[in-house]
Structures are given as structure tokens and as C-alpha cells.
Structure 1
């Protein structure tokens, strides 16, 4: 995720020397080029922040938590993912842009319990990360407005972490002894994904753009079967197929860069 942030900042910083030369600003703000059929050409180079609402299916997870007596409230969609994205137009292919992105977020349910006088907190955290590349086609119906159908591909990780414990421990309690009142379990898997997407982007200035986006994340394992790892060592079997990273996406974005449309 840090690498993604640095790359996005690099794209933005590329434009700083240009912005600093005020005497040439008028030359930079040029009229959008026209394609042969009269359509406005799309071109941009940019990096920025994305906020993603991911609508996962929690039904099987909630059923398991109820059956196992976790005593937690049900998980409900969406999960909020913080992310970054950078992209650039390809001059030799009109109206096509390519880019990269990363996003990560989590949701947690927890409760306070009392077991034989011991006051404990019990919880489960659901974490999701997505990293990938995008290819989009920009259609410009009017000046400053672009509609971009596209496809995103990449990889990600899904982690379920349950815990139970007291608010405070002594350092000597960090040992190999098994404690029935205090525990942590982590199940995780990795996957690949494909996202058909549609973005609507509006340039408020030649250097600042806002975005609205919808997509659907289809997740799959390249090997055919999802492989889950338990506590860094064990294979976790019989995980329901519906516990995956499929889901509808609604996203907004704030971008700095150069926008010529």
C-alpha cells in the first residue's frame, strides 16, 4: 500500500514544475483535440485518493458466528476501503488510459463479556485488500466531463481475525502456554479478481478532477480452489464458497494532475 501511495505522489509531483511556471500556464490550458469523427479526445495524467464502499456478502460468515456462539452483532455491508490510484493516457491509442491502484479496509464487530469474573473483549475483524491495474476508454460528451467504461484486474487478500482477551497483560504472560480465556485466531486467503467498471469524471479545473465509479468485483483462485491458511501454518478446510471477495463497488475519487478534455 505504501508503494502505491509513493507512485501516486510521484505522478502528482511530476506536474509541480509545470504549475510553477506561471508565464506558461496559458500554453498548457489548450483546447481539447478533436478526433476525426468530431469526438473530443480524452487525455489525462493523474494520481489521487479513492474512497471505496465494498458490498460483501456476509451471510455465511454471520451464520457461522451465530452457530459457534461468538455472541457478536451481524456484519453488514459495506466495508470502507481507503485507496490510491494513478493513471495516464496513451498517446498512440486515442482515448485509452492505463493505471494502477491499491485499496485496503476492514470492519470489526466486538463485545464485552464476563467469564467467571474475568472481564474480556471478544471480537472478529474482517480485512480486505485489493491491488491491480486498470484499462479505461474515455468518452467526452461535453467539455470537462468524461465517461469511462473499463476493466480492472489484480490480486488481493482476505483475512478473518478473531480474538478474546483482557484489557491488560504482563510481559511474562507473552509465552507458549495455552490460555482458554485469551486467544487469537487468524484465517487468511489470497485471490485474483476482475472488475468491470464505469466511471464518471468531472474536471473542476485543468488540474483537479472528481470521480464517481461503480464496479463489480469477481474474485477467484488461479488454482481453481480457494486455499485458506490458519495461524500462519495450518490449512483451513471446509470454508464456505460464499466467503469470498465478490461484491458490488461504489467509489468516489479526488485527483490532481493534468486533464485535457
Structure 2
């Protein structure tokens, strides 16, 4: 009998704290703790074609073309005026720099021209007359990526570049002729060319359609920093070329890249 009483007493002593703890468990809150948002890391290595639409002022180029055609600043060449936009095509390659988060470097090379052609009669001989303004640009780019959400990035950046400007005027006999008569009237060729340096700030908006495919839209502005002397037919230094002929203008670009993109 005493042993039974001792067992009951021990059960009461042990069970009482457990019941008290069960009551306290009901008062505890197990609400989820908010997780800290983590920045989306940026990574990209890619290469692909780009098409750039440039909007230079070509008024001075047209005046030079008329002068090359007629020998007079007020002459009429018969050519239609060159107009913007100029279309330049090429490629770009870029890679993220792991040691500096979200920093990217790249290199692009693009070329393009604007051209006008007309048929004329020179001294009773039919001829074709052409004016062409061309650009060839190579640029080293540095961009910084902001990734607001997965697969989408905004990259402001700046480019340092070099290249060539050229103004080409052609006039040739319309039809066929023997080699011995080539480069005789009315045939004319005149080329003006120079080297340039420029700075090109830009803003890229890019979206990764897949881990290996990315599309881009870009807006930019080129600022010509310097230009060498104009050379005529690659030999003669030419003076008097208008200062307004510059690789300095707004531009828009689209691109498609393959590689690895987060």
C-alpha cells in the first residue's frame, strides 16, 4: 500500500512541470522571420552582332561633295543630300570582371556609310556620280550592371574609341569601256580621309532570353575628342574642310549575343 502511494506521488511531482510547459508552448509564437533580400549577382560573357543607327549632321558633308563635283563651294552636284540615320554594323564582345562585382569590359568594331548616286551628262558623255561618307569605329567599353530582377539588367557605361572618317567622290563613264580608256574623262575619283579619337557614353538595357542568349537595346552619344589632318587621296594634306564634319552624334543600337548569362 505504501509503495503504491509513493508511485502516485512521484507521478504527480514529475507530471506537473510537464503540464505547465505544455501550457507555455501554447503561448509561443512561431511567426516566420523575414529573409533579407539578396542582390542578384551579375555575370555575362558574350559575343554577337550589333546594328547601330547614327544621327550625324551631314550638311557640311553635302557641301564638300558639291565642291568636289563642281570645283565650287556654290556649285550644284546634282546629287541628293546625304541624310541621317547612318547604319553601321559590326560586332561586340564582352565579359564581366569577377574581381569587381557588376563591372564589365568589352570591345566593339562597327563600320557603315551613307551614299547618294545620280546619273549626269558631262560634256555630252553619260556618267554616274556618287558621294559617300563613311565611318569605321573601334571602341573599348566599360559598363556597370544593375540587375533589378532575374535576367534583366541596366548597364550605364562609357567607351573610348578610335577610327576613321572618309568622304569619297566618284564619277565614272556609264557603260563599259576598254582598260586603256579607264580613268580618263569623265572619270574622277577624290578621297578625303582622317583618323579620329572619341568618347562614347552609353546606356544598355539587356535581357537574357535564355542562359545562352541575350538581346540588347542601347542609346548613346559620341563626342569627338580629336582628329588628324584630312588627307586627299592618301597623300596630300587638305585644309579648309569644314569643322562640322565630326563623329559626334546621338545613336541607337540593337544587338543579339550568345554566351553565358545569369
- Report if TM-score (shorter chain) is over 0.5: yes
Alignment match, 1:29: none
RMSD of the TM alignment (CA)?
1.6
- SS at the partner of 1:172? helix
Change (3 A) 1:182 1:238: same
- Extract unaligned runs of 5+ from structure 1: 1-35
Alignment match, 2:155: 148
* Number of equivalences: 219
8 A Cα contact 1:165 1:183, kept in partner: yes
Alignment match, 1:232: 234
**Matches of 1:162 and 1:236 in 2, distance apart?**
15
Alignment match, 1:24: none
**Greater CA drift, 109-118 or 72-81:** 109-118
TM-score (norm 1): 0.80
**Greater CA drift, 120-129 or 59-68:** 59-68
Alpha-carbon displacement from aligned partner over 1:2-38 (angstroms, at most 9, x marks no partner): xxxxxxxxxxxxxxxxxxxxxxxxxxxxxxxxxx983
Alignment match, 1:17: none
**Matches of 1:107 and 1:132 in 2, distance apart?**
21
**Matches of 2:136 and 2:177 in 1, distance apart?**
31
**Matches of 1:203 and 1:83 in 2, distance apart?**
21
Alignment match, 1:215: 220
Matches within 5 A, 1:11-160: 38-66=38-66, 67-160=74-167
TM-score (norm 2): 0.80
8 A Cα contact 2:65 2:169, kept in partner: no
- Asked if 1:244 corresponds to 2:233, the answer is no
Q: Displacement, 1:161?
A: 0.4
Alpha-carbon displacement from aligned partner over 1:123-171 (angstroms, at most 9, x marks no partner): 1111101002100000001111000000011101011000111132312
8 A Cα contact 2:61 2:133, kept in partner: no
8 A Cα contact 1:65 1:71, kept in partner: no
Change (3 A) 1:63 1:147: same
